[in-house]
């Protein structure tokens, strides 16, 4: 069964026939919200609102460990994370959908591993390819079938937030090879890997990153909200096709 983690703009998954909700307790504390069991166009899935149902959890306080553990606990075998991002490459403008293939982590102070208990043997998971390739390919092929434009590949740079970046920080990230910037992609992807949960991200570009293109002077959060509202209908169509057998 697929799990979908919804980010900003996707705290609720419209079109999801809700069957039940479960408050899951974990050894790592409480997940962001109850896990929603439902059907997307008839296909059973579980859904988790990353920022909580009322969008009250900032990226740096999200309990990523509890979220992923809870999804695995309720029977999710694969995870698709929807993440709102800024486009660092000018051609990745507002409204663009991207299936990234790499990650650079700039976060700090987050609980980022399951392997830090006192009796835990030191464990180093492989993270060469942070996203599960079959999930990426499935997303891309469903998008092709639907004739929905989706950009294949990108490097997601994850910042600490909650403030947006300076133009200088974005220039540095561009030099580092990042093409997208968001605040929630890590440690989420790494924790999924530690649990052995296949995981990939569908990135939704809400704005040009600071200093780039339409954000050369500033980033307007009301504009970001409008872009997300306009884009999420397309995301839902893609998600429904993605989970279908
Ligand atoms: N920076 C970081 N995270 C984001 C952005 C951004 O510009 N847009 C949406 N999420």
7 confidence band (pLDDT: 50, 70, 90): confident
112 confidence band (pLDDT: 50, 70, 90): very high
Please give the share of the chain, as a percent, with pLDDT higher than 90: 88
205-225 as b/e: b if 16+ CB within 10 A: bbbbbbbbeebeeebeeeebe
Q: If you measure from the C-alpha of residue 184 to the centroid of ligand 1, how many angstroms do you get, rounded to a whole number?
A: 10
Question: Domain map of the chain by residue range?
Answer: 2-242
Q: Report whether pLDDT(9) > 80.
A: no
Contact call for residues 149 and 97 (beta carbons, < 8 A): yes
Q: If you measure from the C-alpha of residue 46 to the centroid of ligand 1, how many angstroms do you get, rounded to a whole number?
A: 26
Contact call for residues 227 and 1 (beta carbons, < 8 A): no
Q: Report whether pLDDT(232) > 80.
A: yes
Q: Work out which ligand 1 atom sits closest to the CA atom of 209.
A: 7
Q: Work out which ligand 1 atom sits closest to the CA atom of 182.
A: 3
Pocket of ligand 1 (CB under 6 A): 84-86, 159, 164-165, 181-183, 206-207, 209, 219
Q: What is the mean pLDDT of residues 18-41?
A: 95
Question: pTM, whole model, 2 decimals?
Answer: 0.96
Q: Which one of 51, 164, 216 would you pick to mutate in the ligand 1 pocket, going by the greatest count of ligand atoms within 8 A of its CB?
A: 164
Listed in sequence order, the DSSP H helices in the chain are 64-73, 133-146, 167-175, 185-195, 221-243
Q: If you measure from the C-alpha of residue 43 to the centroid of ligand 1, how many angstroms do you get, rounded to a whole number?
A: 31
Strands 78-87 and 180-182: antiparallel
CB atoms within 10 A of CB 72: 17
Give dist(CA 169, CA 164) in Å, integer: 10
Task: Specify the CATH number of the domain 2-242.
Answer: 3.40.50.1580
CA angle 214, 104, 26 (to 5 degrees): 110
Give dist(CA 89, CA 92) in Å, integer: 5
Q: Report whether pLDDT(55) > 90.
A: no
Q: Quote the pLDDT of residue 10.
A: 81
Q: Quote the pLDDT of residue 13.
A: 83
């Amino acid at each position: 069964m697929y799990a979908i983690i919804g980010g900003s703009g996707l705290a609720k998954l419209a079109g999801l026939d809700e069957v039940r909700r479960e408050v899951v307790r974990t050894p790592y504390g409480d997940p962001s919200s109850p896990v929603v069991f439902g059907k997307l166009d008839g296909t059973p899935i579980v859904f988790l609102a990353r920022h909580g149902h009322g969008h009250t959890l900032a990226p740096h306080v999200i309990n990523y460990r509890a979220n992923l553990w809870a999804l695995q606990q309720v029977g999710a075998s694969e995870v698709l994370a929807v993440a709102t991002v800024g486009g660092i490459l000018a051609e990745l403008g507002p409204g663009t959908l991207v299936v990234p293939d790499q990650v650079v982590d700039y976060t700090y102070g987050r609980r980022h591993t399951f392997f830090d208990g006192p009796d835990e043997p030191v464990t180093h998971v492989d993270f060469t390819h942070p996203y599960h390739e079959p999930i990426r390919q499935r997303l891309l092929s469903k998008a092709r079938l639907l004739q929905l434009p989706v950009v294949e590949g990108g490097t997601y740079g994850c910042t600490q937030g909650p403030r947006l970046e300076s133009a200088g920080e974005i220039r540095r990230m561009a030099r580092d090879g990042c093409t997208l910037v968001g605040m929630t992609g890590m440690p989420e992807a790494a924790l999924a890997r530690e649990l052995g949960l296949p995981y990939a991200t569908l990135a939704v570009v809400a704005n040009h990153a600071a200093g780039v293109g339409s954000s050369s002077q500033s980033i307007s959060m009301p504009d970001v909200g409008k872009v997300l509202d306009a884009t999420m209908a397309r995301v839902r169509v893609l998600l429904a096709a993605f989970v279908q057998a």
